[in-house]
Chains A and B, each alone.
Chain A
Amino acid sequence: MLLVPCPNCGPRNSADLRYGGESHARPDPATAAPLQWRGYLYLRDNPAGWLRETWYCRSGCRRWFTLERNTATNEFRDPPQPGDKRGAKA
Chain B
Amino acid sequence: MTMSRLEAQPTEVIDRSTTQRFRWNGKRFSGFEGDTIASALAAAGEHVFSRSMKYHRPRGILTADYWDPNLLVQVGDDPNVRAGHRLLEAGMDVQAQNVWPSLRHDIKAANGLVSRFLTAGFYYKTFMRPQKLWPAYERVLATFAPGGKVDPDTPHRYHDKRYTHPDVVVAGAGPAGIEAALAAAAAGARVLLVEHEHAVGGHLRYAHPEPARAALSELRAALDASDVEVLTDSTVTGRYEDNWLGIVQRNHPIAVERLIKARAKVLVVAPGLIERPFVFSGNDRPGVITSGAARRLINLWGVKPGERAVVFTANSDGDAAAADLDRVGVEVAAVIDGRDGRRVSAAQGSSKALEAVLAGGTRTEADLLVVAAGWTAPTSLLNMSGDRPVYDPNAARFFPSDPPGNVLATGGLAGDGSLDELRAHGAATGQLAAERAAAVAHRYQARTARALPVTGDEPAWVADLRVPLRRTHHPELHRSDTHGMIDFSEDVGSKDLVAAAREGYDSVELAKRYTTATMGSAQGKLETVNTVAAIAEARGETIAQVGTTVWRPPYAPLTLGALAGRVFEPVRVSSIHPWHEANGVRTILAGQWIRPDHYGDPAAEVRNVRANVGLIDVTPLGKLDLRGPDIPKLLNLLYTNKWSKLPVGKVRYGMMCAEDGVVLDDGVTGRLGEDHYLMTTTSSGAAGVWEWVENWLQTERPHWRVHVTPVTTAYSSINVAGPKSRELVSRVVEGVDLSPEAFKYMEVRTATVAGVAGCFMWRIGFTGELSFELHVPAGHGMHVWEALMEAGADLGVGPFGLEGQRIMRLEKGHFIVGQDTDGLTLGPSTGLSPLIKLDKDDFAGLPELAWAADRKLPMIVAIQPDDPNVVPEEAAQIVRGDTNEILGRITSSRMSPMLGRAICLGQVEPELAAGGTKVTVLLVSGERISATVMDHHAHFDPDGERLRG
Question: B847, A64: Cβ atoms under 8 Å?
Answer: no
Chain B residues lying within 8 Å of A32, measured Cβ to Cβ, are: 847
Q: Given that A2-B241, A56-B695 are contacting pairs, would A30 and B842 also be in contact in the complex, using a CB cutoff of 8 Å?
A: yes
Q: What residue of chain B has the Cβ atom nearest to residue A31's Cβ?
A: B847
Instruction: Tell yes or no: B16 within 8 A of A by CB.
Output: no
Question: A90, B659: Cβ atoms under 8 Å?
Answer: yes
Size bracket of the B interface: 20 to 34
In the complex, identify which listed stretch (B64-72, B393-401, B447-455) lies at the interface while the others stay far away: B447-455
Chain A residues lying within 8 Å of B241, measured Cβ to Cβ, are: 1-3, 74
Question: A11, B448: Cβ atoms under 8 Å?
Answer: yes
Question: Closest Cβ of chain A: how far from B636's Cβ, in Å?
Answer: 13
Chain B residues lying within 8 Å of A29, measured Cβ to Cβ, are: 842, 846-847
Question: A5, B691: Cβ atoms under 8 Å?
Answer: no
Question: Closest Cβ of chain B: how far from A14's Cβ, in Å?
Answer: 8
Instruction: Tell yes or no: A16 within 8 A of B by CB.
Output: no
Instruction: Tell yes or no: A8 within 8 A of B by CB.
Output: yes
Q: How far is the CA of A58 from the CA of B450 in the complex (A)?
A: 17
Question: B448, A90: Cβ atoms under 8 Å?
Answer: no
Chain B 668-700 residues near chain A, CB threshold 8 A: 691-692, 694-696, 698-700
Q: How far is the CA of A40 from the CA of B300 in the complex (A)?
A: 67
Chain A residues lying within 8 Å of B842, measured Cβ to Cβ, are: 29-30
Q: How far is the CA of A10 from the CA of B447 in the complex (A)?
A: 5
Chain A 1-55 residues near chain B, CB threshold 8 A: 1-3, 5, 8-11, 13, 18, 20, 26, 29-30, 32, 34, 37, 40-41, 54
Q: How far is the CA of A58 from the CA of B694 in the complex (A)?
A: 11
Chain B 645-660 residues near chain A, CB threshold 8 A: 658-660
Question: B660, A86: Cβ atoms under 8 Å?
Answer: no
Question: B242, A3: Cβ atoms under 8 Å?
Answer: yes
Q: How far is the CA of A61 from the CA of B451 in the complex (A)?
A: 15
Instruction: Count residues of A near B (Cβ-Cβ below 8 Å).
Output: 36
Question: B244, A1: Cβ atoms under 8 Å?
Answer: yes
Question: Closest Cβ of chain B: how far from A34's Cβ, in Å?
Answer: 6
Interface bits A56-90 vs B (CB < 8 Å: 1, else 0):
10100111100000000010000000111111111
Question: Closest Cβ of chain B: how far from A39's Cβ, in Å?
Answer: 12
Question: Closest Cβ of chain B: how far from A27's Cβ, in Å?
Answer: 8
Q: Given that A3-B241, A11-B448 are contacting pairs, would A58 and B691 also be in contact in the complex, using a CB cutoff of 8 Å?
A: yes
Chain A residues lying within 8 Å of B450, measured Cβ to Cβ, are: 9-10
Q: What residue of chain A has the Cβ atom nearest to residue B163's Cβ?
A: A13
Q: How far is the CA of A3 from the CA of B68 in the complex (A)?
A: 37
Chain B residues lying within 8 Å of A88, measured Cβ to Cβ, are: 691-692, 695
Question: B851, A34: Cβ atoms under 8 Å?
Answer: yes
Question: A11, B444: Cβ atoms under 8 Å?
Answer: yes
Question: A10, B242: Cβ atoms under 8 Å?
Answer: no
Interface bits B210-247 vs A (CB < 8 Å: 1, else 0):
00000000000000000000000000000011101000
Question: A87, B699: Cβ atoms under 8 Å?
Answer: yes
Chain A residues lying within 8 Å of B660, measured Cβ to Cβ, are: 41, 90
Chain A residues lying within 8 Å of B479, measured Cβ to Cβ, are: none
Count contacts between A and B, CB distance < 8 Å: 78
Of the listed residues A20, A29, A40, A56, the one surrounded by the most CB atoms of chain B closer than 10 A to its CB is A29
Q: Looking at the complex, which one of B451, B662, B702, B844 makes contact with A10 (CB distance below 8 Å)?
A: B451
Question: B263, A83: Cβ atoms under 8 Å?
Answer: no
Chain B residues lying within 8 Å of A82, measured Cβ to Cβ, are: 698
Question: Closest Cβ of chain B: how far from A22's Cβ, in Å?
Answer: 13
Instruction: Tell yes or no: B620 within 8 A of A by CB.
Output: no
Chain B residues lying within 8 Å of A58, measured Cβ to Cβ, are: 691
Instruction: Tell yes or no: B287 within 8 A of A by CB.
Output: no
Q: How far is the CA of A58 from the CA of B710 in the complex (A)?
A: 14
Question: Closest Cβ of chain A: how far from B655's Cβ, in Å?
Answer: 15
Instruction: Tell yes or no: B841 within 8 A of A by CB.
Output: yes
Q: How far is the CA of A61 from the CA of B698 in the complex (A)?
A: 12
Chain A residues lying within 8 Å of B841, measured Cβ to Cβ, are: 30
Instruction: Tell yes or no: B476 within 8 A of A by CB.
Output: no
Question: Closest Cβ of chain B: how far from A20's Cβ, in Å?
Answer: 8
Q: How far is the CA of A29 from the CA of B848 in the complex (A)?
A: 9
Q: Given that A29-B842, A32-B847, A84-B699 are contacting pairs, would A2 and B449 also be in contact in the complex, using a CB cutoff of 8 Å?
A: no
Q: What residue of chain A has the Cβ atom nearest to residue B851's Cβ?
A: A34
Q: What residue of chain A has the Cβ atom nearest to residue B448's Cβ?
A: A10
Question: B699, A10: Cβ atoms under 8 Å?
Answer: no
Question: Closest Cβ of chain B: how far from A35's Cβ, in Å?
Answer: 11
Q: How far is the CA of A26 from the CA of B848 in the complex (A)?
A: 13
Instruction: Tell yes or no: B845 within 8 A of A by CB.
Output: yes
Question: B699, A9: Cβ atoms under 8 Å?
Answer: no
Chain B 490-537 residues near chain A, CB threshold 8 A: none
Of the listed residues B242, B699, B848, the one surrounded by the most CB atoms of chain A closer than 10 A to its CB is B699
Chain A residues lying within 8 Å of B847, measured Cβ to Cβ, are: 29, 32, 34, 37
Chain B residues lying within 8 Å of A10, measured Cβ to Cβ, are: 444, 447-451
Chain B residues lying within 8 Å of A83, measured Cβ to Cβ, are: 698-699
Question: B658, A9: Cβ atoms under 8 Å?
Answer: no
Question: A26, B700: Cβ atoms under 8 Å?
Answer: yes
Q: What residue of chain B has the Cβ atom nearest to residue A3's Cβ?
A: B242
Q: How far is the CA of A83 from the CA of B694 in the complex (A)?
A: 12
Q: How far is the CA of A80 from the CA of B851 in the complex (A)?
A: 37
Chain B residues lying within 8 Å of A1, measured Cβ to Cβ, are: 240-242, 244
Question: Closest Cβ of chain B: how far from A77's Cβ, in Å?
Answer: 14
Question: A64, B695: Cβ atoms under 8 Å?
Answer: yes
Question: A8, B449: Cβ atoms under 8 Å?
Answer: yes
Question: B696, A86: Cβ atoms under 8 Å?
Answer: yes
Chain B residues lying within 8 Å of A41, measured Cβ to Cβ, are: 659-660
Question: B691, A18: Cβ atoms under 8 Å?
Answer: yes
Q: How far is the CA of A10 from the CA of B451 in the complex (A)?
A: 9
Q: How far is the CA of A46 from the CA of B662 in the complex (A)?
A: 25
Q: How far is the CA of A54 from the CA of B263 in the complex (A)?
A: 24
Question: A37, B848: Cβ atoms under 8 Å?
Answer: yes
Chain A residues lying within 8 Å of B698, measured Cβ to Cβ, are: 63-64, 82-83
Question: Closest Cβ of chain A: how far from B372's Cβ, in Å?
Answer: 41
Chain A residues lying within 8 Å of B699, measured Cβ to Cβ, are: 54, 64, 83-87
Question: Closest Cβ of chain B: how far from A6's Cβ, in Å?
Answer: 9
Chain A residues lying within 8 Å of B846, measured Cβ to Cβ, are: 29
Q: How far is the CA of A54 from the CA of B660 in the complex (A)?
A: 19
Question: B702, A2: Cβ atoms under 8 Å?
Answer: no
Question: B263, A90: Cβ atoms under 8 Å?
Answer: no
Chain A residues lying within 8 Å of B444, measured Cβ to Cβ, are: 10-11
Q: What residue of chain B has the Cβ atom nearest to residue A87's Cβ?
A: B699
Question: Closest Cβ of chain A: how far from B340's Cβ, in Å?
Answer: 48
Chain A residues lying within 8 Å of B694, measured Cβ to Cβ, are: 56, 62, 64
Chain B 695-715 residues near chain A, CB threshold 8 A: 695-696, 698-700, 702
Question: Closest Cβ of chain B: how far from A2's Cβ, in Å?
Answer: 4
Of the listed residues A1, A20, A86, A90, the one surrounded by the most CB atoms of chain B closer than 10 A to its CB is A90
Q: How far is the CA of A6 from the CA of B845 in the complex (A)?
A: 30
Q: How far is the CA of A87 from the CA of B695 in the complex (A)?
A: 8
Question: B695, A86: Cβ atoms under 8 Å?
Answer: yes
Question: Closest Cβ of chain B: how far from A4's Cβ, in Å?
Answer: 9
Chain B residues lying within 8 Å of A9, measured Cβ to Cβ, are: 448-450
Q: How far is the CA of A44 from the CA of B700 in the complex (A)?
A: 19
Question: Closest Cβ of chain A: how far from B74's Cβ, in Å?
Answer: 35
Q: How far is the CA of A86 from the CA of B447 in the complex (A)?
A: 25
Contacts A/B (CB < 8 Å), 22 sampled = A1-B244, A2-B241, A8-B449, A9-B448, A9-B449, A10-B447, A10-B451, A13-B263, A20-B695, A26-B700, A29-B847, A34-B847, A34-B851, A40-B659, A56-B691, A74-B241, A82-B698, A86-B695, A86-B699, A88-B695, A90-B844, A90-B845
Enumerate the 4 nearest inter-chain pairs by beta-carbon distance, A residue then B residue, closest first: A90-B659, A10-B448, A90-B658, A86-B699
Chain A residues within CB distance 8 Å of chain B? 1-3, 5, 8-11, 13, 18, 20, 26, 29-30, 32, 34, 37, 40-41, 54, 56, 58, 61-64, 74, 82-90
Known contacts A11-B444, A13-B263; can you find 19 more A-B pairs with CB under 8 A?
A: A1-B240, A1-B242, A2-B241, A3-B242, A3-B244, A5-B447, A9-B449, A10-B447, A10-B449, A26-B700, A34-B851, A58-B691, A84-B702, A85-B699, A86-B695, A86-B700, A88-B691, A90-B659, A90-B845
Chain B residues within CB distance 8 Å of chain A? 240-242, 244, 263, 444, 447-451, 658-660, 662, 691-692, 694-696, 698-700, 702, 841-842, 844-848, 851
